[in-house]
Amino acid sequence: MIDDRLRTLRRLRYANAFGFILAVAALSPMAVRGQYLHPKVIAKQTTIRKIVILPAKVNVVRDSMKGPEGMAEESEALSVRVEKMLAEVLAAQKSVMTLSESTTTQADSQQKYMIADIQAKFDGLLPKVMKKRKDVKQGRFSMGDEVLNLNLDKSADAIVFIRGEGKKLTGGKTAFTMLVGGMPAYLKLMIGIVDARTGELLLYTDPILAGDPTTAVNRLREALEKGFKKLPAVS
Amino acid sequence: MKAEGNPVAIAPGTDLMALDYNVVLNEILVMRAGQATTGPIRAHMKTFSKRNLLVATLCLCVGFGPLMPPAIAQKKKVAPVEATPPPVNEEFQFGKIDLELLEQVNLVDRRFEREGIVLEDEATNAYLERIGKVLIPKGLKLEHVTWRFRAARDPQPNAFALPNGSIYVTTGLLALLDNESQLAAILAHELTHVMRRHTYLQNRSNRKKFLTANIIAAVGAYTPGGVAGAMITIVTTVAPFLVLATMFGYSRELEREADLKGIDMMISAEYPPEEMVRALQLLTNDIEGEQIKLFYNDHPELQERIKYLGSYLGARADKVTPEMELHREKNAYLQKAEPVMRHDIQLAINATRFRSAVFLALKLVYFHPDSSENVFWLAESYRLLGPRSQQLTEKELTNSAKKDAARKREKRTVEEEERELLATPAGQENAKAHQQKADELYRRALSLDNPTPLAHRGLGMLYEKLGRKLDALTEYHKYIELAPVAIDRERIQKRIEALTKE
Q: What is the 3-state secondary structure (H, E, C) of chain A?
A: CHHHHHHHHHHHHHHHHHHHHHHHHHCCCCCCCCCEECHHHHCCCCCCCEEEECCCEEEEEEEECCEEEECHHHHHHHHHHHHHHHHHHHHCCCEEEEHHHHECCCCCHHHHHHHHHHHHHHHHHHHHHHHCHHHHHHCCCECCHHHHHHCECCCCCEEEEEEEEEEEECHHHHHHHHHHCCCCCEEEEEEEEEECCCCEEEEEECCEEECCHHHHHHHHHHHHHHHHHHCCCCC
Residues A4, B210: C-beta atoms closer than 8 Å = no
Alpha-carbon gap, residue A35 to A193, rounded angstroms: 11
pLDDT, position A138: 94
**B contacts of A175 (beta carbons < 8 Å):** none
% of chain A with per-residue pLDDT over 90: 35
Helix or strand holding residue B218 (H, E): helix B198-221
Q: Is the pLDDT of residue B42 over 60?
A: no
Task: Compute CA distances B350 → A113, A234, B173, B319, B386, whole Å.
Answer: 12, 35, 17, 44, 14
Average pLDDT over residues B312-331: 83
- Of the candidates B207, B221, B487, which has its C-beta nearest A181's C-beta? B221
Helix, coil or strand: residue B289? coil
B218 CA to chain A: closest CA distance, Å? 6
- Per-residue pLDDT of A115-159, as tens digits, reads 999 999 999 999 999 999 999 999 999 999 999 999 888 889 999
Q: Is the pLDDT of residue B500 over 90?
A: yes
pLDDT, position B39: 42
Residues B347, A181: C-beta atoms closer than 8 Å = no
A227 and A192 Cβ atoms separated by less than 8 Å: no
Residues B487, A111: C-beta atoms closer than 8 Å = yes
- Per-residue pLDDT of A175-220, as tens digits, reads 888 888 878 899 999 999 999 999 999 999 988 888 888 887 778 8
pLDDT, position B381: 98
A27 CA to chain B: closest CA distance, Å? 23
Residues A180, B218: C-beta atoms closer than 8 Å = yes
Q: Is the pLDDT of residue B266 over 80?
A: yes
Asked if B99 has any chain A CB less than 8 Å from its own CB, the reply is no
Asked if B139 has any chain A CB less than 8 Å from its own CB, the reply is no
Asked if B122 has any chain A CB less than 8 Å from its own CB, the reply is no
- Per-residue pLDDT of B160-179, as tens digits, reads 888 999 999 999 999 999 99
Q: In the structure, what pLDDT confidence band is assigned to residue B54 with cuts at 50, 70 and 90? A: very low
Asked if B457 has any chain A CB less than 8 Å from its own CB, the reply is no
A 54-73: CB under 8 A from B: 57, 65-67, 69-70, 72-73
- Of the candidates A16, A124, A148, which has its C-beta nearest B494's C-beta? A148
B182 and B263 Cβ atoms separated by less than 8 Å: no
Q: Is the pLDDT of residue B127 over 80?
A: yes
Query: Minimum mean pLDDT among A20-29, B198-207, B338-347: which range?
Result: A20-29
Asked if B33 has any chain A CB less than 8 Å from its own CB, the reply is no
Q: Could you report the predicted ipTM of this complex, rounded to two decimals?
A: 0.83
Q: Is the pLDDT of residue B364 over 60?
A: yes
Residues B211, A140: C-beta atoms closer than 8 Å = no
- Per-residue pLDDT of A43-55, as tens digits, reads 888 888 899 999 9
Asked if B404 has any chain A CB less than 8 Å from its own CB, the reply is no
Alpha-carbon gap, residue A66 to B239, rounded angstroms: 16
B342 CA to chain A: closest CA distance, Å? 14
Mutate to test the interface with A, among B490, B496, B499 (most CBs of A within 10 A): B490
- The whole-chain average pLDDT of chain B stands at 80
pLDDT, position A106: 53
Q: Would you kindly state where each structural domain of chain B is located, as residue ranges?
A: 16-73, 352-501
Measured between CA atoms, the residue of chain B closest to residue A105 is B487
Average pLDDT over residues B344-366: 96
pLDDT, position A18: 55
A16 and A182 Cβ atoms separated by less than 8 Å: no
- Per-residue pLDDT of B270-318, as tens digits, reads 999 999 999 999 988 889 988 776 544 444 578 888 888 988 888 887 7
Alpha-carbon gap, residue B97 to B100, rounded angstroms: 5
Which long-range contacts (C-beta less than 8 Å, at least 24 apart) are formed by B296-301?
A: B296/B241, B296/B242, B296/B245, B296/B246, B297/B245, B297/B248, B298/B245, B298/B246, B298/B247, B298/B248, B298/B249, B298/B251, B298/B252, B299/B248, B299/B249, B299/B250, B299/B252, B299/B255, B300/B252, B300/B255, B300/B256
pLDDT, position A100: 66
Residues A72, B107: C-beta atoms closer than 8 Å = yes
Residues A112, B116: C-beta atoms closer than 8 Å = yes
Residues B225, A141: C-beta atoms closer than 8 Å = no
% of chain B with per-residue pLDDT over 90: 51
Mutate to test the interface with B, among A1, A10, A63, A66 (most CBs of B within 10 A): A66
Alpha-carbon gap, residue B399 to B405, rounded angstroms: 10
For the packed helices B302-316 and B274-283, what is the interaxial angle rounded to 10 degrees?
170
Query: Minimum mean pLDDT among B73-87, B281-295, B378-392: which range?
Result: B73-87
- Of the candidates B116, B225, B413, which has its C-beta nearest A115's C-beta? B116
pLDDT, position B199: 86
Q: Would you kindly state where each structural domain of chain A is located, as residue ranges?
A: 2-230
pLDDT, position B252: 82
Amino acid letter, B294 = L
Closest by Cα among B148, B254, B150, B132 to B197? B254
Measured between CA atoms, the residue of chain A closest to residue B114 is A112
- Of the candidates B117, B120, B214, which has its C-beta nearest A176's C-beta? B214
**A contacts of B501 (beta carbons < 8 Å):** none
Looking at domain B352-501, its CATH superfamily turns out to be Tetratricopeptide repeat domain (1.25.40.10)
pLDDT, position B253: 85
Asked if B208 has any chain A CB less than 8 Å from its own CB, the reply is yes
Amino acid letter, A182 = G
pLDDT, position A133: 92
B331 and B178 Cβ atoms separated by less than 8 Å: no
Q: Taking the model in full, what pTM does it have?
A: 0.80
Amino acid letter, A66 = K
